[in-house]
Amino acid sequence: MKKYLLLTFIITCIGIILPYKAYSAEIAVGASTCETWIERNPKNDYNFIIGPTFIYGPVLSVKFTESFDITFMYLYGRFNETANYDKVEIRDSELIFNAGLNDYFKVFAGVKYMGFLESDTKYIGYGPELGLSVALPIAYKINLLLSVSGFFSGGEESDSSSKRSYNEYGVNGTLSLSYYIVPASTTVSLGRRFQYFKSDYHKGNDWIKNKFYGNTLTVTYSFDIFNCPQ
């Protein structure tokens, strides 16, 4: 059922994008990385912190008007073997619709996906995200960027012998400085990211509290495309 809901959302996104094909759009494509620590606190168990490791992946943004754009990000990372786990991997992805309120503030909504692999146990969840971002000019081509959002997702934990479902809810925040290099049409952003969420299991009155945090670096190259009406 969740797969069908996700497919419906993607089709809706395409339906929103297609009417803009007769107009110009600004594309920003690049890569992002985050030096990440993970802290997990299961109920009735010990806390553990692993890291740092670098998670990394592509970033794509399409700007249709001054007040509307779409952003996609996918990050992946694998941690070295730890004392408690022989394999730890994370995947973090977002598809976000941004709507400008004025020159500084934007509201955004979209879908967030998170995958976590702990030894042979998989955690996969996705759901809606809603937030607010602000861009404050500091100096020539330098901006202070702040983004805060809340999210809720449904997920499933599975291993070779069992499965159980859970709901997650949490907050995600980034604070960074960006600099636009005019001759290269390139934006470089350096900052800090923090993410906290709690996984509540449907059975067993069990939960896990999670924190992801680290330093971020994003580099994107921008260019314009123009489409003519058919």
What mean pLDDT comes out for the span 192-219? 91
217 vs 30: CA distance, rounded Å:
11
Backbone angles phi, psi at 181, to 5 degrees: -90, 105
Mean pLDDT of 121-135: 94
**CA quadruple 58, 63, 64, 67: dihedral positive or negative?**
positive
* pLDDT digits 0-9 by tens, 131-173: 999 999 999 899 999 999 999 999 999 988 889 999 999 999 9
Distance CA 204, CA 202 (A): 7
> Is residue 192's pLDDT more than 90?
yes
Cα–Cα distance measured from residue 126 to residue 144, given in angstroms and rounded to the nearest whole number? 29
42-96 residue pLDDT tens: 887 777 788 888 999 999 999 988 889 999 999 999 887 665 666 788 999 999 9
Fold assignment, 2-225:
Lipocalin (2.40.128)
CA separation for the pair 222, 220 (Å, rounded): 7
| pLDDT value, residue 175 | 97
Predicted TM-score of the model (pTM): 0.84
Q: How far apart are CA 220 and CA 201, in angstroms?
A: 39
The per-residue pLDDT of the chain, averaged, comes to 86
Closest CA to 62 of 52, 54, 72, 53: 72
Residue type, 165: S
DSSP classification of residue 19:
G
The gap from C-alpha 21 to its chain's centroid, in whole angstroms, comes to 26
Note whether 142 and 178 are within 8 A (CB). yes
pLDDT on residue 99: 94
End-to-end Cα distance, the chain? 37
Domains of the chain: which residue ranges? 2-225
What's at 30, amino acid-wise?
G
- pLDDT tens profile 169-180: 999 999 999 999
What six digits make up the tokens of 187?
Answer: 């934006």
Rounded to whole angstroms, the Cα distance separating 131 from 177 reads 19
CA distance 87 to 5: 31
- Residue pair 105/126 in contact (Cβ under 8 Å)? The answer is no
